[in-house]
């Protein structure tokens, strides 16, 4: 039998899937811990926003006490302002002055958002890799 990557994946798909599942669980645990740690940074960012604009954004007010599962929704306003341009599809309901304010903040106030986004991306990639290790060999 010729050795190839496909054959390797088929032969060891359960082990590969298990390792990816453990990595996914570890990423989830790290995300939960990081969410607890970054709660104070979120409060600091909100207080800076309130000083400048007088109130918290509606998205933040809705999800601010939602716990871990709504923490990404709570932070979505700041994440969209940080990553997307003014007047883009993703920032269409946001004030351009608010977007500029968030983009111009020093990194010490916004680094935790970048880490949170990266942890989420890693989790999504690991999830798809795990699912493909379990289910793709059946179709090959």
> What span, in angstroms and rounded, lies between the C-alpha atoms of 76 and 79?
5
User: Between vectors from CA 97 to CA 70 and to CA 92, what angle results, nearest 5°?
Assistant: 60
Could you tell me the two tokens for 60? 């933040």
C-alpha distances in Å from residue 69, one per residue of 31, 98, 119: 11, 25, 14
Q: How do residues 55-78 score in pLDDT, each as one tens digit? A: 888 778 777 777 777 777 888 888
Between CA 136 and CA 73 the distance in angstroms is 32
Q: How confident is the model at residue 85 (pLDDT cuts 50, 70, 90)?
A: confident
Instruction: Give pTM, 2 decimals.
Output: 0.81
Mean pLDDT of the chain: 86
Question: Distances in Å between the alpha carbon of 106 and those of 10, 35, 100, 103, 112?
Answer: 48, 20, 12, 8, 12
């Amino acid at each position: 039998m010729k050795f190839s990557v496909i054959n390797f994946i088929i032969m060891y798909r359960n082990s590969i899937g298990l390792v990816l599942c453990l990595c996914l669980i570890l990423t989830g645990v790290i995300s939960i811990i990081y969410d607890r740690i970054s709660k104070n940074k979120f409060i600091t960012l909100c207080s800076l926003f309130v000083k400048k604009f007088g109130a918290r954004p509606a998205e933040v007010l809705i999800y601010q006490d939602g716990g871990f599962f709504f923490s990404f929704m709570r932070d979505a306003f700041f994440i969209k302002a940080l990553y997307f341009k003014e007047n883009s599809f993703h920032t269409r309901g946001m004030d351009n002055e608010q977007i500029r304010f968030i983009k111009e903040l020093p990194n010490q106030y916004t680094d935790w958002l970048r880490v949170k986004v990266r942890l989420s991306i890693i989790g999504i990639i690991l999830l798809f890799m795990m699912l493909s290790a379990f289910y793709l060999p059946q179709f090959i």
